[in-house]
Structure 1
């Protein structure tokens, strides 16, 4: 076996290629001392219970809450980062387990805060905040708490609900265990003619296979197994949706959709308009299917042909330093300040670059209010890794700006905004790579990469969103849904979305049963809205619109200081209109024109 295939141990990785976690704590002993100090100090937060009825006590409590919150977060982050460096290291496993267990106890010390504020007269709370200079900073936080007052139940009812929360999570847990642990799919024959076991984990590789028989067999084998359990899976999903609807009803929301969106002040129309806008533009997806069919040279386009790349290019070996240069060139339109933060992040030890034995897989950006943003990569010298670097640094620079500009309580940002910065970076990078590429095959490959990203992140997620809306509204009316009903709804959506050039195979009808996101109510639409917001930012920046970069940086600095719709609106992206999503579809059409031109 060559050296390249042998994963290095953690200690064999060059220190310049590792993140600098020692900037949080110089040693594990220092961490232990900080943890011990937190355990001694944190119980003091309980002393304020029953006393949050005047400005002085609220101020002292919040100062303590912030001070200890920052310390607890820092301790938590360090233990997790150290464990992720090598998950087989028992010392760091123990540290992580210890702090994880403690955080549940820590949360109990402040659990009374929101109920106690809500028990006060609303005008009294507003007067305390508005008339106390030191508390004006917390105005948005308190307004956000008070907004939920009509939906908070009595103390005994809240306790009762909390005590059955595990039971209400049962459908999701059952689906998870059934599809990930108990279901077995049997064997298929791979590209080399060898029998291999099909799993949820390797299915995504087989469905992209160049060998049509392999992807067809994987497709039919996987979905036929789901079909065998369709009645169980339909009952599980219906139970989960009924739980969401029950929660919305007892909390006096008009619908489960409103219950999901209102806490972040997102109008229900944002969701419904996104679904309508995509429905009005499905001809663009139909055109993509038609072009893909032509590029693949197929007489018939089936559902199992959807994921296969239209073109293969030789794998390019890209050293990490070259990847950094490529991303910097791609992000050049964001200006000197942004690029300097990016460069200093690379040089100052934000990034843990390479794989090593035991290192956590995948990639993420993380950190605490008083730490650097940290980026975990498993860099493998491929073009996809360059895109991952741009994506994760997008998150990190968003966090950097938010923590620098906002107080601790507003430094975090909501899921609705979370993917915007990372996706904007990816959009700028791929635009740069397409425009500078002279090799026809590679250009075709890059164009298809971006088309696939829009298809899977925008069209597919909003198809999911449309299905969710149908299922929740049907069950809200008291109409039951059987496996047959779910199958028909899913089949009809696929026919509508993919158009006349796609043969919608019967096996796809059960695909709804495979998607775990349906157990997190009205979650997936945010992938599409996040992508749309990022597209709108990238378009304005690339077109050199006046103030576009400044508005975008303002968005990055906003953290969670307002509701996500307002934060984006102030930065020039109004998600209550169809414009951002239409800008994404415009880009999709632009890429289709490029693809058409390349093949004709």
Structure 2
């Protein structure tokens, strides 16, 4: 849409909105279901102390599913309506109401896992044999029992739960410092006029064609972080020590093992990803050299990395053109997938355009009894087209999982979540590059894909390596100062980007800008998810129908097995170096294409 004026919600045509009214026709219907949920949930605590009886365990699972499905439906409706217009107090109130109740519901269910873990060994297996209908729950029960060696006595667990807020203090303080208290000096824009620098505007200055603008923004931002280097170091190392403490208390060999254990992901996956990146750093060095050449710069600095190397006129897509473009890109996935894609568009899954008060960004969200609705803020650029492909990847993953799994396994892990969406993006960009005849636009598309791999794979693995270093030092009882953190960050960047990159001293504080470091061992999943998606897209394009069927098997699996096993069955083994090597081969192929087109 090219409308200069942002419309109100009422001004958006019905055909451009999601059909959320199909979930509940009005607030009164929602309220009736909410009251029903409250009554039914009262039965859950009555199962406490009875779960060692097979029939009672089965009855609890059935009662909990009924309650959870209703709660999910209520939450989806309230959250989607609230995101349509964040000034609408009616739906904001509904969201607050259900979110508050979900905490109450979690408390009513809280006895379940500790009680299962309290039983003598063999109790659950005996129940499974006594009651055949429990067999469907075998895997979820096995997942709980895996925690037994890492579960403390009830008093110790209660004590750790009681101090959880205290242990989160470094993360909370970091958020306040970076979101509210940290301010940056005024800089100058391309016209030489004073301009405000914030975290949200920084990227805009970093992609400026004016190098002086990029440099001034870079220096202003990181010199400001540098003024608080000791505070940032204290917050980060305290957060890491807290996590290491919890991992040790729960008898894990390392913080890394503790973080990966819930999804049964071997630590080998983490180490292999980093080692593979190291083996192929020459590919990233080659990209840096090529970028330096394309920008016609005598030296390349960290603040030059994000500036576009190719200028092309903006290409505008209508929403209908975007849908058609994505369908063409996803054609290797076959007619069934494409038909479901069309069904989603026709059935009103997608809330398409911006309106006053609408939640920013984009997402896909659904549950067992609610379609996977997509929020977009479509503006007609290439990124909007790619976002449609990405979010529909999530939505069709949800659709396949809910249609093929029982409720208990209908969701999927974060480790798998980005794979489905990124596979769609990879197929789309391959199609766009292949069919583009304009030289500059083809170069632009190739470079945008190179940048995505640089930032999603190499950069995230640099982050992952930094995380591993900081946690291992904490486990060894070594206190890291701001100077230590900056020195290691500097060395990592020199190693990853190579001799053609000038690693500016100011960039040594970049670790302080990464909020994900307060979510232990989180960022590596961006790289592994992208690598898995790239492997799928390469196999789909090369092998066709057989791979598509295995890929759809992955989409249908939900959480019926551990994520590593689900991916392995579909043909992508994340315990080997191959998926990461595949994505670097794609990176090399794109570099070849870029060089040959120049």
Alignment of 1:285-434 (within 5 A): 285-434=284-433
**Partners of 2:336 and 2:121 in 1: CA distance:** 43
Match of 2:477 in 1: 478
Aligned-partner SS, 1:589 = helix
User: How far did 1:544 drift?
Assistant: 2.3
Match of 1:224 in 2: 223
The 8 Å contact of residues 332 and 544 in structure 2, kept in 1 or not, is answered as no
**Partners of 2:2 and 2:266 in 1: CA distance:** 56
Unaligned runs of 5+ in 2: none
**Partners of 1:263 and 1:13 in 2: CA distance:** 43
**Partners of 2:360 and 2:572 in 1: CA distance:** 34
Change (3 A) 1:298 1:412: same
Give per-residue Cα distances to partners, 1:407-441, cap 9 Å, x unaligned: 11101111110100000000000000000000000
Alignment of 1:39-438 (within 5 A): 39-438=38-437
User: How far did 1:4 drift?
Assistant: 2.0
**Partners of 2:202 and 2:253 in 1: CA distance:** 40
Aligned-partner SS, 1:372 = strand
**Partners of 2:130 and 2:291 in 1: CA distance:** 63
Please say if 1:522 is aligned against 2:521.
yes
Aligned-partner SS, 1:559 = coil
The 8 Å contact of residues 490 and 512 in structure 1, kept in 2 or not, is answered as yes
Match of 2:463 in 1: 464
**Partners of 1:525 and 1:130 in 2: CA distance:** 40
Give per-residue Cα distances to partners, 1:327-382, cap 9 Å, x unaligned: 00000000000000000000000000000000000000001111111000000010
**Partners of 1:76 and 1:464 in 2: CA distance:** 34
Give per-residue Cα distances to partners, 1:118-139, cap 9 Å, x unaligned: 0112211112124421100000
Aligned-partner SS, 1:317 = coil
User: How far did 1:192 drift?
Assistant: 2.3
**Partners of 1:381 and 1:502 in 2: CA distance:** 35
User: How many pairs align?
Assistant: 598
The 8 Å contact of residues 86 and 92 in structure 2, kept in 1 or not, is answered as yes
Change (3 A) 1:3 1:126: closer
**Partners of 1:515 and 1:379 in 2: CA distance:** 28
Match of 2:543 in 1: 544
The 8 Å contact of residues 122 and 146 in structure 1, kept in 2 or not, is answered as no
The 8 Å contact of residues 55 and 131 in structure 2, kept in 1 or not, is answered as no
**Partners of 1:81 and 1:194 in 2: CA distance:** 41
Aligned-partner SS, 2:42 = helix
User: How far did 1:560 drift?
Assistant: 0.4
Please say if 1:13 is aligned against 2:22.
no
The 8 Å contact of residues 16 and 351 in structure 2, kept in 1 or not, is answered as yes
The 8 Å contact of residues 130 and 139 in structure 1, kept in 2 or not, is answered as no
Match of 2:561 in 1: 562
**Partners of 1:96 and 1:542 in 2: CA distance:** 43
Aligned-partner SS, 2:367 = coil
**Partners of 1:131 and 1:566 in 2: CA distance:** 29
**Partners of 1:539 and 1:122 in 2: CA distance:** 46
Aligned-partner SS, 1:574 = coil
**Partners of 1:72 and 1:164 in 2: CA distance:** 29
The 8 Å contact of residues 2 and 379 in structure 2, kept in 1 or not, is answered as no
Aligned-partner SS, 2:3 = helix
**Partners of 1:509 and 1:459 in 2: CA distance:** 17
Aligned-partner SS, 2:543 = coil
Match of 2:510 in 1: 511
Match of 2:597 in 1: 598
User: How far did 1:546 drift?
Assistant: 5.7
- Deviating 4+ runs (over 6 angstroms): none
User: How far did 1:249 drift?
Assistant: 0.3
**Partners of 1:266 and 1:70 in 2: CA distance:** 28
**Partners of 1:360 and 1:503 in 2: CA distance:** 39
Give per-residue Cα distances to partners, 1:532-575, cap 9 Å, x unaligned: 00010000000125610000000000000000000000001000
**Partners of 1:371 and 1:12 in 2: CA distance:** 26
- Range 270-279 or range 46-55, more displaced: 46-55
**Partners of 1:15 and 1:341 in 2: CA distance:** 21
**Partners of 1:165 and 1:322 in 2: CA distance:** 50
User: How far did 1:3 drift?
Assistant: 8.8
Change (3 A) 1:130 1:217: farther
Give per-residue Cα distances to partners, 1:434-473, cap 9 Å, x unaligned: 0000000000000001000000000000000000011100
The 8 Å contact of residues 257 and 268 in structure 1, kept in 2 or not, is answered as yes
Match of 1:38 in 2: 37
- Range 261-270 or range 581-590, more displaced: 261-270
User: How far did 1:263 drift?
Assistant: 1.6
- Range 459-468 or range 543-552, more displaced: 543-552
- Range 44-53 or range 14-23, more displaced: 44-53
**Partners of 1:115 and 1:158 in 2: CA distance:** 10
**Partners of 1:347 and 1:183 in 2: CA distance:** 46
**Partners of 1:317 and 1:513 in 2: CA distance:** 38
**Partners of 1:448 and 1:530 in 2: CA distance:** 21
